[in-house]
A and B are shown apart, each in its own frame.
Chain A
Amino acid sequence: MRCEQLDTVIEAVADGSYQLSADEQAHVDVCATCRARLDEARDIERLLQTRAQPVTPASFTSAVMLRIGQERWRAERAIDAGFNLAILAGSLVILAGGAGLAWSLGLLTINVDIGALLRALDNSGGVTSRVLSQVQTVALAATLLTTTLIVWWWAEAATD
C-alpha cells in the first residue's frame, strides 16, 4: 500500500462515504503521514460542516429594490435624452430643409461682400473696438449660461 494510493480516498474516508479496507486500515495504523493526512481531512470536514452561516443584511431586499429603481430611472433618462436629441435633430433638418427650399425657389438670397464688410468695420473703429464694446454683454451671457449649467448639473446629481 502506497501513501499516494491512500491519498486519493482520504476525503471520502473523512466524510464517511468510503470505508477503509483491512489492508488500508493496517497501513494507516503504521504510517504517520497517512494518519496525519486523515486527521487533517477530518478536521477540514468538521469545520466545513460547522462553518457559521453568513447573515444576510436586514436591509438587503430594500437595497436591491432601490438599485432596481435607480437602474430603471437611468434607463428612462437615457430614453428621454435620446428622444430630445431626435427632436432637436429633426427640427434642424426641417429648418435646413425649409431654408434650402426657400433658397432654391429664389425666396432667400444671401450676398456677402467680405471686402465691404471689413472696410465698414475699419471705418467704424475696427474689429477690436467692436468686440470690446460687446465684452460686457458677452461676459454676462457667458455667466448666465455657466450658472444655468451648474444648477442643472447639481439638480441631476442630487436626483441621482
Chain B
Amino acid sequence: MDATSEHTLIARCRQGDEGAFRELVDEYKGLVFTLIARSISNQARAEELAQDVFLKIHKGLPYFRGDAKLSTWIYRIVINALAQERPDLATLSLDDQEIGPAIQPAATDTTFGALLLRDRLQKAIERLPVAYQVLINGHYLQGLRYEDLAEALDMPMGTVKTHLHRAKRRLRKLLETEFR
C-alpha cells in the first residue's frame, strides 16, 4: 500500500467509516495473524490475540500521529501483544552468554528427519524472547523489509542483520541443548 492510499484509509477510519476499517483489516490481517500464529501454537488463541490487535488498532487510530508507517505501528502492537501473552519472554536480551554452554552436537543430530526438526524448531522459536521471535518470523515473511523490522524493534537497521544471526544462533543452541 502506498503512502497516499494509507493516509486516505487512516483518515476514513478516523471519521468512523467502518468499511475503511474493514479494508484495513483485510490489508493487514495476513501480517498480524502470521506473526502471531508463528509464535503461538494454539491456533484459537492466536486468532483471538490477532483480533485483539485489531481492536487495539481501532481504539488507537485516533491517536496515531503518522510519524511511522502504519505497518510499523501495527508491528509494534503485535510485539506488545505477544509480550503481554508471554511476559517471561518479553525482554529482548542481546547477551548471548545467557544461552548456556554450547555442547557438541551428537552425530545423530545431523541425521534427524526434517519433520522432527521442524517440530523442534517451532518449539525452540516459541522459547525465544518475543522480539527475536518477531524478528525471525517477520524476516521470513514475504514483504517485510529490514527497515520495518528496524523501526519496529527500535534498532538501527545495520544491527538488524546481526540480531537476526544472534536469534538464529540462539535457536541453534536451544536445539542443541533443550530440544535435542
Interface size, chain B (Cβ < 8 Å): 42
B99-110 contact mask (Cβ, 8 Å, vs A): 1 or 0: 000101101011
Q: Do A63 and B51 have beta carbons less than 8 Å apart?
A: yes
Establish whether residues A61 and B25, one from each chain, have CB atoms under 8 Å apart when the complex forms: yes
- Is the beta-carbon distance between A40 and B109 smaller than 8 angstroms? yes
B171's nearest neighbour on chain A, judged by CB, is A44
The answer, yes or no, to whether A12 is at the interface (CB within 8 Å) is: yes
A33 to chain B, nearest CB (A): 5
Q: Size of chain A's interface in residues, with CB distance under 8 A?
A: 34
Please, which residues of chain B bring their CB within 8 A of the CB of A51?
A: 38, 118, 140
Chain A residue nearest in CB terms to B112: A43
Give A71 to B58 CA distance when docked, in angstroms: 11
Q: Would you call A39 an interface residue if the criterion is a C-beta within 8 Å of the partner chain's C-beta atoms?
A: yes
A61 cross-chain contacts in B, Cβ below 8 A: 22, 25-26, 29
B: residues with CB less than 8 A from A are 18, 21-22, 25-26, 29-30, 33-34, 37-38, 43, 46-47, 50-51, 54-55, 58, 102, 104-105, 107, 109-110, 114, 117-118, 121, 136, 140-141, 161, 164-166, 168-169, 171-172, 175-176
* Partner-B contacts on A (CB < 8 A): 4, 7-8, 10-12, 14-15, 17, 33, 36-37, 39-41, 43-45, 47-49, 51, 53-54, 56-57, 60-61, 63-65, 67-68, 71
